[in-house]
């Protein structure tokens, strides 16, 4: 399967997780990794499945590297019908009122343009003990299996 992995980050955690996911998948799938900051909305229309890793910043805002992408989607209003994506959030439960809001806002925007969200949207808690990849890989393998069927 062609799997495009995108990350939206402020301080690099989402990029590290995106690279880890690509490493885990590369034996069985063709993968690419890209910063949302360098991606046009049409980049979502290439692969069979898009995996997006996105953190949250400043009162539940999008991280800096996701902002230009979101602004392009909002201004260009692309039709994303047929696009499939799975999104994984990075957050911190210390920010209780805006926990995981960055990934939530991005997911809602893509769905509003017609894209299909696969699976649930987990949020890794930076205040917890679990490693992001330990949480992301079982979640993603289940989605890939279902998407491949």
Ligand X SMILES: Cc1cc2nc3c(=O)[nH]c(=O)nc-3n(C[C@H](O)[C@H](O)[C@H](O)COP(=O)(O)O)c2cc1C
Give the interface segment with ligand X, choosing from 20-28, 43-51, 52-60, 73-81 (CB under 6 A): 52-60
* Phi, psi for 9 (deg, rounded to 5): -140, 160
**What is the distance between the terminal CA atoms of the chain, rounded to a whole angstrom?**
11
DSSP alpha helix (H) spans, the chain: 13-25, 67-76, 101-112, 132-148
CB of 17 to ligand X, least distance (A): 8
Q: Using DSSP, how many helices (H) and how many strands (E) does the chain show?
A: 4, 6
Binding string, residues 70-99; x marks residues near ligand X by CB under 6 A = --------------------xxx--x--xx
Give the interface segment with ligand X, choosing from 27-35, 42-50, 51-59, 79-87 (CB under 6 A): 51-59
Binding site for ligand X (CB under 6 A): 9-14, 55-60, 63, 90-92, 95, 98-101, 126
């Amino acid at each position: 399967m062609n799997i495009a992995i995108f990350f939206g980050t402020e301080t690099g955690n989402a990029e590290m997780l995106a690279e880890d996911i690509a490493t885990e998948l590369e034996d069985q799938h063709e993968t690419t990794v890209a910063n949302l900051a360098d991606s046009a909305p049409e980049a979502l229309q290439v692969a069979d499945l898009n995996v997006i890793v996105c953190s949250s910043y400043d009162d539940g805002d999008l991280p800096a590297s996701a902002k230009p992408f979101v602004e392009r989607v909002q201004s260009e209003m692309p039709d994303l019908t047929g696009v499939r994506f799975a999104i994984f959030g990075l957050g911190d439960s210390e920010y209780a009122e805006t926990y995981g809001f960055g990934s939530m806002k991005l997911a809602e925007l893509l769905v509003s343009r017609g894209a299909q969200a696969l699976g649930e949207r987990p949020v890794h808690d930076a205040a917890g003990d679990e490693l992001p990849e330990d949480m992301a890989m079982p979640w993603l393998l289940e989605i890939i299996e279902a998407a491949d069927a």
